[in-house]
Amino acid sequence: MELIEMKHITKIYPGTVALDGVDFSLKQGEILSLLGENGAGKTTLMKVLYGMTQPNSGEICYKGEPLRLRSPIDAINKGICMVHQHFMLVPAFSVTDNIVVGAEPHKGIFLDKAKAKREVQELIQQFHFNIDPDILVERLSVGEQQRVEILKALYRKADVIILDEPTAVLTPTEVEELFVILRQLRDSGKSIIIITHKLKETMELADRIVVLRDGRLVADDVRPAEVTTEQLSSLMVGRQVDLQIRRPAKNIGEVCLKVENLTVMDHGQAKVKNVSLEVHAGEILGVAGIEGNGQTQLLEALTGLCQPKSMALTLNGEPLSGACDVFIHHGVGHVPEDRLAMGLVKEMSIKDNLILGYHRQDRFCGKGGMMKQAAIDGYAEKLKEEFLIKTPSVNAPVSSLSGGNQQKVIIARVFSQSPKALIVAHPTRGVDIGAIEYIHQQLIDIRDSGAAILLVSADLDEVRTLSDRIVVLYEGQIVSESMPGELSEVELGLLMTGSKPAGKGETHA
C-alpha cells in the first residue's frame, strides 16, 4: 500500500524551478533511495514532505487522505521525521534530554525524568543502538550523534524517517552500523527515505530507487538488483561516469611543499605529533585516516589558520610562515574542510564569494581600494561558465545554491588562481557523481600543470584513485606511506584504525 503519495509537486524559487510536477510515493516498510545530481531538487522535495517549505502547487496524501503541512510540527504529528545533515542537538545535554526535549513525559506539571529515561532505554535496547542514555552529547562521535537524531525521531513515533545525506560525515564502519540500524527499522515496519550521492551505498541498502533530474522525476521504480551503478549514473547525469579510473602523475618535479617537525597543540594535547611531509610539484599526496586523528590541525597549520607549536615549512625552498594572507599571497590554495563555515559567506553573492581571499588583487581592486565591479562581474561570469556552476545569476546569494554547486564556487575560486601548492580537504563531500568526476578531473589537471597537492579526504576510494602517494594519519602521526595499489582497501582500513597489517607498508614512528 502507498503510505505517502505526493502528486504534481511544483516548487519555484526566484529564478529556479526546483521541482517541476513531481509525483512521488512511498510504501510502508521500504527503504527508498532518492538519487539525483546536485540541485536536482532532492532536499527541496523532502522539505516539502516535512512541511519546511510550501510547494507552489501539488498535493500530498498520507494513507489515502489529503495532508496539509503548514510546518514541520504538522509533519511530526503525522509521524514524518527528518534527520538533517547538520544535527540539531544540544551538546551540553544528555542523550535522554536531547531525545525527549519538546515531547517530554509529564507527571502533573513536572517532568517525569524517570519515565523519560526508561522509555529511551527501552528504545535503545529494542533497536540495539548501543548508546549510554546518560552521557552528554558533546562526548559522542558524529556517528553516535546521528543515532541520537534517529532515536529522537523514533521517540516521536515516527513511521517515516527522512535522512538527508546521512553518510557524508561518517566513517566506513559507522556507515555499516547505520545501515544495520536502518534495515532493522524497515523490518519493524518503518519507511525510510535516504538521500546519498554514493551509489555503492544505494545499491547495498535500498529496496527501491527514485531518480530526480533537474526537478523532474526520471525513474521511480528502479530495483538495485536490476541495475548497475553505471546505469544509475547515466540516469542521474544523462551520461556514463566512472570514478575508479586512475590517472597517475606523469611528470613529478622537485619538492615543492616541505613540512618538518610539525607539532600542533590543542587544549594542551598534541593533536599532530612531529609530522614531516614532502609534496612534489605535479604530485598528489593523499592523507587517509579516520576523522579526528589530527587532520583538522594538520590542515590549519598548512594554511596559516593556526600557529603550530613547531614547524619548519618551505615552499619551493623558501621558508613560509604567518597568517592565512601570507599563505594565500604565496600561492598556497586552500579548499577548506567545512565549506559553509570556512569557505563561503552564504549571505553574500556568488560573485563576491568567487574572489574571497583574492579580492585585494589589482585586477579586482583599484589603487584607492575601490572594487572594480565590471572586472569582477566579467570574471565571475567566466568562472561560472568554466566551472559549470548551476545558477540563474552570479548575483544570487551562495545560500541559494545546492551543496555541490557551493563546492564548485570554492574550487573555481582557488583553482583559477594557478596555485603553486594546494591544500585540499574533502573536496567532494556531499557532491554528486557528475560533479565528483568534474572536480577530480580539475584536480588532476591542476596537478599536471605542476601544482603540489595535499589531499585530505575521509573517502578512502577518493584517496586511492587520486593520490600518487598515500600516507595514513593515525592519532596525529603518520603510520604508513605507500604507493597506490601497494596496499589494499582493507589494509589501509586497518592502518587507519591503528592496527598493523602483517609485514606491509613501511612504518615511520
Ligand X SMILES: Nc1ncnc2c1ncn2[C@@H]1O[C@H](COP(=O)(O)OP(=O)(O)OP(=O)(O)O)[C@@H](O)[C@H]1O
Task: Name which of another protein, ligand X, Mg ion, none residue 334 binds, using a CB cut-off of 5 to 8 Å depending on partner kind.
Answer: another protein
Q: How near is the Cβ of 234 to another protein at its closest, in Å?
A: 29
For residue 103, the partner it binds in ligand X, another protein, Mg ion, none, with Cβ less than 5 to 8 A by kind, is none
CB 349 within 8 A of CB 397: yes
Query: Taking CB under 6 A as the rule, does residue 349 contact ligand X?
Result: no
Q: Is residue 362 helix, strand or coil?
A: coil
* Distance in Å, CB of 41 to Mg ion, minimum: 9
Options 4, 6, 9, 16; binder of ligand X; rule CB under 6 A: 16
Measured from the CB of residue 464, what is the shortest distance to ligand X in angstroms?
24
**Binding partner selected for residue 38 from ligand X, Mg ion, another protein, none, CB under the kind-specific 5 to 8 Å limit:** ligand X
- With CB under 5 to 8 Å by kind, the binding choice for 382 among another protein, Mg ion, ligand X, none is none
Query: Does residue number 282 form part of the binding site for ligand X (CB under 6 A)?
Result: no
- Residue 38 or 297: the one with the smaller Cβ distance to ligand X is 38
Binding of ligand X by 428 (CB under 6 A): no
Least gap, CB of 362 to another protein (angstroms): 11
The correct pick among 3, 31, 36, 144 for binding ligand X (CB under 6 A) is: 36
User: Given the rule CB under 6 A, which of 10-18, 255-263, 305-313, 322-330 is the region that contacts ligand X?
Assistant: 10-18
42 binds ligand X (CB under 6 A): yes
What b/e readout covers 7-39, taking b as 16+ CB neighbours within 10 angstroms? eebbbeeeebebbbebebbbeebebbbbbbbbb
List binders of ligand X among 177-206 (CB under 6 A): none
Output 348 or 388, the one with its CB closest to another protein.
Answer: 348
Quick one: which H or E segment has residue 14?
Answer: none
Q: Residue 429, interface with ligand X (CB under 6 A)? A: no
How far apart are the C-alpha atoms of 423 and 334, rounded to whole Å? 5
**How far, CA to CA in Å, does 397 sit from each of 95, 212, 429, 449?**
36, 24, 21, 32
Is 43 a binder of Mg ion (CB under 5 A)? yes
410 binds ligand X (CB under 6 A): no
Tell me the window of 143-151, 304-312, 325-333, 395-403 that interacts with ligand X (CB under 6 A).
Answer: 395-403
Residues lying near another protein in the complex (CB under 8 A)? 8, 14-15, 57, 59, 303-305, 323-329, 334, 336, 341-348, 352, 356-357, 359-360, 364-365, 368-371, 373, 392-393, 395-396
| Residue 36 binding result from Mg ion, ligand X, another protein, none, given CB thresholds of 5 to 8 Å by partner type | ligand X
Would residue 77 be called left, alpha or beta, if left means φ above 0 and alpha means ψ between -120 and 50 degrees?
Answer: alpha
3-state class (DSSP) for residue 67:
strand
Contacts of residue 263, Cβ cutoff 8 Å, sequence gap at least 6: 270, 272, 273, 274, 275, 308, 309, 310, 311
Integer CA distances (angstroms), 301 to 46, 304, 327, in order: 39, 5, 10
Options 402, 416, 442, 467; binder of ligand X; rule CB under 6 A: 402
40: contact with ligand X by CB under 6 A: yes
* Residue position matching grid coordinates 566579467: 378
- Report how far residue 256's alpha carbon sits from residue 315's, in angstroms, rounded to the nearest whole number: 5
Toward Mg ion, which CB reaches closer, 43 or 482?
43
Alpha carbon of residue 133 to chain centroid? 28
Q: How far apart are CA 175 and CA 167, in angstroms?
A: 6
Can you read off the three cell numbers belonging to residue 235?
Answer: 540516469
Nearest residue (CB) to another protein, 122 versus 325:
325
DSSP string, 78-113: TTEEEE-SS----TTSBHHHHHHTTS--EETTEE-H
Minimal distance in Å, beta carbon 422 to ligand X?
A: 23
Shortest reach from residue 400's CB to ligand X, in Å: 4
The three-point CA angle 364-370-373 to 5° equals: 50
371 interacts with, out of ligand X, Mg ion, another protein, none, CB within 5 to 8 A per kind = another protein
Q: Which amino acid is at 24?
A: F
d(CA 345, CA 361): 19
Show the CA angle centred on residue 97, arms to residues 92 and 100, nearest 5°: 145
Nearest to another protein of 79, 331 (CB atom): 331
Does residue number 41 form part of the binding site for ligand X (CB under 6 A)?
yes
Which grid coordinates are listed for 78? 503525522
Point out which residues bind Mg ion (CB under 5 A). 43
Residues that bind ligand X (CB under 6 A): 13, 16, 18, 36, 38-44, 400-404, 432
